């Protein structure tokens, strides 16, 4: 390789290019003395011109170790000097550019076996990885080499061992090229064999003590829980249902769930769900909200309803943006060097705000001083529900009602005390994929709770994108702000937003949401579909970002990591649209897509549960429920139906307008007379239901235990 050219000094140094970025994560680095570039061609052109390697840092506003690296490693004067003199430096927000993150996670993983955030990668000027890792301290420590030493060695390799650089980059390209084989999807197992494989993996990995799947660190897998609910319905056995219930209950009671402020942290570092990684992600909370709605409907568990309410409240209060839509995340930390102090409590802090009687109850109920102690600071506690209120009041003279009132009073005081703390920053960026998931979850939650405000929030989020970031020719943009939509042609946005619109249309009965939903699915089918039958993450004709390195090459997001993959989200949106409009065409498109996906995920187990749910729903007749009549009796029937569970149901007040579709037998039903609920499974309709108590058993059985 040729000798590197020096970069001309400038009066403007440091990360000034990031100062006006739309990304909060990038803006937070603009005062660093490192000459950061945002993702784009300028940095790589400079690298080619000066023959320097590129240092790529990928992180996010919610990422604790990204902050640690920014505040320690990138603030180190020697690290900054080495980067300025030997490298071209690029910083990327993984939420703003998921397509960049996806490819470089795979490249670094193929080379090192590591992945995660921050992602630290060394690239050629062509954008190919030749070395990489995750977090690096400034000097040797924490079992990792110091970044000073790493940078010096990379600079030496670049100058003295160009063959090593080329060999590493070629090895990564070859490994990924083999996995990206664009040929036809392999012939996979039959649908029944695929379902049995996924079921077997879930049962094998299920934690019988704590719920969930696998051991520490433990991530919530909402699609895994949703699949278990479907499996229990299909098999008519209680085992899968009980596993789903146990998982939801343990998550709701654990430290993963913010017992004071509502909503969920990202994952637990222990297998008992006690101590979380404290960032709160929009994508996590939307998915968990939706599956807790399912759990509340399926089991009638008050704890699940309570969890739905506080997650709705948290998202509506913390993430909601003034112009409409939900922000992306809330940070784990509230200051440099912090690790969850906003969310945790010491005994003196509890004592300062609670009465002696409240403190005794809270200490027992929330397990203060037990498994929720922070490993690095045992004086601080994550609150989790160690026992029931009835158990916590033992040894006192409190009645159950008095204990409930005392606990409610204590929680109110803790919320007020927390509100006086420095609050972790919220990433206010409004992304289509996250908002599509929230639209779906808020539609379901609003219907179940009978809460018009919750439903309206979902509509407002959808309306903002449809008004400012949707084009029938291009789909929905990745991000929306006051200037409109930005970043077109990404599959996750189209799939999640279409899915959200389908569910919102079905809940509201408003056909205005169906047309854009169908248009997005048409674009998915025509612009994202590859020859192998799978869906690419980027549409070649629609994507408007720079195609540096491997960004222009096809990538197929198939696995749930841990949330619904874009391919599975698209298939489920097609299936639900088919059941809402009685469209055989969309059902067959979903069948074809799922066939291709299951061929690739034959042995993916837990990470194929979204696809498995779709395969299961292909042969689960949709339930269509039409409420006739008005008044208290009609309202009681509607509430019973909205709080009952079936894996593929639609509920309407009266005959819905076209293009919604219901069996012809229901369209001819009288609109006046006594309140009654008309129920059809597929084309098989049951006798009208007039008693609210009968609704849940009929739906749960799929009508199999009722006379037609």
The tokens for 264 are: 């969920």
pLDDT at 14: 79
Enumerate domains of the chain plus CATH numbers: 16-179 (3.40.30.10), 215-319+329-425 (no CATH), 430-618 (1.50.10.20), 623-700 (no CATH)
- Confidence label for 184 from pLDDT (cuts 50, 70 and 90): low
How many secondary structure helices (H) and strands (E) does the chain include?
26, 22
Q: Beta partners for 414?
A: none
pLDDT at 140: 87
Q: Buried (b) or exposed (e) across 423-455, using 16+ Cβ within 10 A? A: ebebbbbbbbbbbbbbbbbbbbbbbbbebeebb
Closest-CA residue to 503 (of 455, 567, 565): 455
pLDDT at 664: 76
User: Strand, helix or coil at 627?
Assistant: strand
Report pLDDT digits (tens) over 337-365.
888 999 999 999 999 999 999 999 999 99
Determine how β-strand 276-277 pairs with β-strand 373-374.
unpaired
pLDDT at 707: 47
Give the sign of the dihedral formed by CA 489, CA 491, CA 496, CA 498. positive
- Confidence label for 378 from pLDDT (cuts 50, 70 and 90): very high
Report pLDDT digits (tens) over 382-425.
999 999 999 999 999 999 999 999 999 999 999 999 999 999 99
pTM of the complete model:
0.95
CB contact set of 459 (below 8 Å; sequence gap of 6+)? 504, 508
Secondary structure letter of residue 619 according to DSSP = T
In this structure, are residues 542 and 488 in contact, taking their beta carbons and an 8 Å threshold? yes
pLDDT at 9: 41
Question: What distance separates the 2 farthest-apart alpha carbons in the chain?
Answer: 88
511-525 average pLDDT score: 97
pLDDT at 186: 67
316-325 average pLDDT score: 97
The mean pLDDT of the chain is 93
pLDDT at 11: 40
User: DSSP alpha helices (H): ranges in 471-555?
Assistant: 491-508, 514-523
pLDDT at 158: 96
Give the CA-trace dihedral at 266, 268, 274, 277, to 10 degrees. Answer: -60
User: Strand, helix or coil at 37?
Assistant: strand
pLDDT at 188: 74
For residue 8, pLDDT beyond 90:
no
pLDDT at 13: 61
586-614 average pLDDT score: 97
Token pair 């993983």 is found at 109
For residue 670, pLDDT beyond 50:
yes
Report pLDDT digits (tens) over 202-220.
999 999 999 999 999 999 9
For residue 445, pLDDT beyond 60:
yes
Closest-CA residue to 534 (of 602, 600, 608, 607): 600
Angle of CA points 380, 385, 390, to nearest 5°: 130
647-657 average pLDDT score: 93
Distance of CA 545 to the CA centre of its chain: 23
In this structure, are residues 107 and 72 in contact, taking their beta carbons and an 8 Å threshold? no
């Amino acid at each position: 390789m040729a000798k590197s050219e020096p970069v001309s000094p400038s009066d403007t140094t440091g990360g000034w290019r990031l100062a006006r970025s739309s990304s909060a994560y990038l803006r937070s680095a603009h005062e660093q003395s490192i000459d950061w570039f945002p993702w784009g061609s300028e940095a790589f052109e400079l690298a080619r011109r000066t023959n320097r390697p590129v240092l790529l840092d990928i992180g996010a506003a919610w990422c604790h170790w990204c902050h640690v690296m920014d505040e320690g490693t990138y603030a180190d004067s020697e690290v900054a000097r080495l980067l300025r003199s030997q490298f071209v430096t690029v910083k990327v927000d993984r939420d703003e550019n998921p397509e960049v993150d996806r490819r470089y996670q795979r490249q670094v993983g193929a080379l090192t076996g590591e992945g995660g955030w921050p992602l630290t990668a060394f690239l050629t000027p062509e954008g190919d990885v030749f070395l990489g890792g995750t977090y690096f301290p400034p000097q040797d420590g924490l079992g990792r080499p110091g970044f000073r030493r790493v940078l010096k060695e990379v600079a030496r390799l670049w100058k003295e061992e160009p063959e090593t650089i080329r060999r590493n980059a070629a090895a990564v390209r070859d490994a990924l090229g083999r996995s990206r084989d664009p040929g036809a999807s392999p012939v996979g197992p039959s649908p029944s064999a695929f379902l049995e494989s996924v079921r077997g993996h879930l049962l094998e990995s299920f934690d019988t003590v704590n719920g969930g799947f696998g051991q520490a660190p433990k991530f919530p897998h909402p699609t895994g829980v949703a699949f278990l609910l479907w499996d229990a319905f299909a098999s008519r056995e209680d085992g899968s249902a009980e596993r789903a219930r146990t998982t939801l209950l343990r998550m709701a009671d654990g430290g993963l769930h913010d017992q004071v402020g509502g909503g969920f942290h990202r994952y637990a570092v222990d297998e008992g769900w006690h101590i979380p990684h404290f960032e709160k992600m929009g994508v996590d909370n939307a998915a968990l909200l939706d599956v807790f709605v399912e759990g509340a409907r399926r089991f009638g568990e008050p704890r699940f309803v309570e969890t739905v309410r506080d997650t709705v409240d948290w998202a509506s209060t913390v993430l909601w943006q003034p112009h409409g839509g939900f922000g992306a995340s809330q940070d784990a930390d509230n200051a440099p060097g912090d690790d969850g102090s906003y969310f945790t409590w010491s005994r003196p802090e509890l004592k300062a705000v609670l009465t002696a009687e409240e403190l005794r109850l809270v200490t027992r109920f929330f397990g203060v001083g037990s498994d929720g102690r922070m490993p690095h600071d045992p004086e601080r506690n994550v609150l989790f529900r160690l026992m029931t209120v009835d158990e916590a009041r033992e040894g006192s003279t409190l009645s159950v009602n008095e204990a409930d009132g005392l606990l409610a009073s204590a929680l109110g005081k803790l919320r007020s005390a927390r509100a006086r703390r420095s609050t972790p920053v919220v990433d206010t960026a409004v992304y289509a994929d996250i908002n599509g998931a929230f639209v779906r979850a808020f539609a379901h939650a609003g219907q179940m709770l009978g809460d018009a405000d919750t439903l309206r929030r979902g509509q407002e989020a959808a309306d903002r994108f449809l008004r400012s970031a949707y084009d029938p020719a291009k789909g929905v943009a990745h991000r929306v702000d006051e200037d409109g939509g930005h970043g077109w042609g990404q599959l996750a946005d189209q799939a999640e937003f279409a899915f959200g619109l389908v569910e919102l249309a079905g809940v509201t009965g408003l056909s205005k949401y169906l047309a854009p939903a169908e248009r997005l699915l048409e674009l998915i089918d025509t612009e994202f579909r590859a020859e192998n039958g799978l869906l690419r993450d980027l549409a070649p004709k629609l994507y408007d970002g720079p195609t540096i390195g491997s960004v222009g090459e096809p990538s197929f997001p198939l696995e749930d990591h841990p949330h619904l993959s874009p391919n599975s989200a698209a298939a489920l949106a097609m299936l639900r649209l088919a059941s809402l409009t009685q469209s055989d065409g969309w059902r067959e498109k979903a069948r074809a897509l799922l066939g291709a996906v299951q061929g690739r995920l034959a042995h993916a187990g837990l990470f194929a549960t979204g696809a498995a749910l779709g395969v299961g729903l292909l042969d689960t007749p949709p339930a269509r429920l039409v409420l006739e009549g008005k008044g208290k009796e009609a309202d009681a029937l509607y509430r019973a139906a909205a709080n009952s569970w079936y894996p593929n149901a639609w509920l309407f007040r009266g005959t819905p307008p076209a293009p919604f579709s219901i069996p012809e037998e229901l369209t001819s039903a009288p609109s006046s007379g006594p309140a009654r609920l008309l129920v059809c499974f597929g084309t098989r309709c049951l006798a009208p239901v007039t008693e609210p108590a009968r609704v849940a058993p009929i739906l749960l059985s799929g009508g199999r235990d009722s006379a037609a």
